[in-house]
């Protein structure tokens, strides 16, 4: 029974870690791009206006993929630490199942949200200029 509770808690840790790492990766990418553009508002506007839906979708997938892999490494360590048998297999099962669930949610809802958000950003920049 204790292993089941630990398993559920570890899955929860993976979910939170994936979200947290994704946020850090997005903020880090903005910081790097901001340094490259030297915090110039006009350059930022030109960059954001040039973004394509395809690039944004691929960027989101890359961020999620990286965050998911890093969180899977952490939960593997937790499975080992708590003495689960077959920790690698458990970590891979959690990684695969979370990826499948996220892909299903992405296909159903998130893709449209990303495209709408990009459209709103471009519309806001166009109004500002």
pLDDT tens-digit series, residues 84-94:
999 999 999 99
Q: How many percent of the chain have pLDDT more than 90?
A: 57
For residue 40, is pLDDT > 90? no
Question: Which phi and psi angles does 76 have, rounded to 5°?
Answer: -60, -45
Q: Quick one: pLDDT at residue 76?
A: 97
What does the alpha-carbon distance between residue 74 and residue 91 come to, in Å, rounded to a whole number? Answer: 9
Q: Quick one: pLDDT at residue 19?
A: 95
Domain boundaries of the chain, sorted by first residue: 2-128
Q: Quick one: pLDDT at residue 17?
A: 96
Tokens of 24: 């850090």
Q: Quick one: pLDDT at residue 88?
A: 96
Q: Quick one: pLDDT at residue 24?
A: 97
What does the alpha-carbon distance between residue 19 and residue 98 come to, in Å, rounded to a whole number? Answer: 12
Tell me how crowded residue 26 is: count the other CB atoms within 10 A of its CB: 14
C-beta of residue 21 within 8 angstroms of C-beta of residue 70? yes
């Amino acid at each position: 029974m204790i292993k089941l509770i630990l398993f559920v808690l570890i899955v929860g840790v993976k979910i939170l870690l994936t979200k947290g790492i994704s946020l850090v990766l997005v903020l880090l990418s903005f910081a790097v791009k901001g340094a490259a553009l030297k915090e110039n508002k006009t350059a930022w506007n030109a960059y954001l206006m040039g973004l394509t839906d395809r690039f944004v979708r691929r960027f989101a997938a890359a961020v999620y993929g990286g965050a998911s892999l890093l969180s899977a490494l952490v939960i593997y360590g937790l499975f080992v630490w708590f003495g689960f048998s077959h920790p690698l297999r458990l970590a891979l099962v959690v990684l695969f199942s979370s990826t499948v669930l996220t892909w299903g949610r992405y296909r159903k809802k998130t893709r449209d949200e990303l495209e709408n958000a990009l459209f709103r950003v471009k519309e806001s920049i166009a109004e500002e200029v």
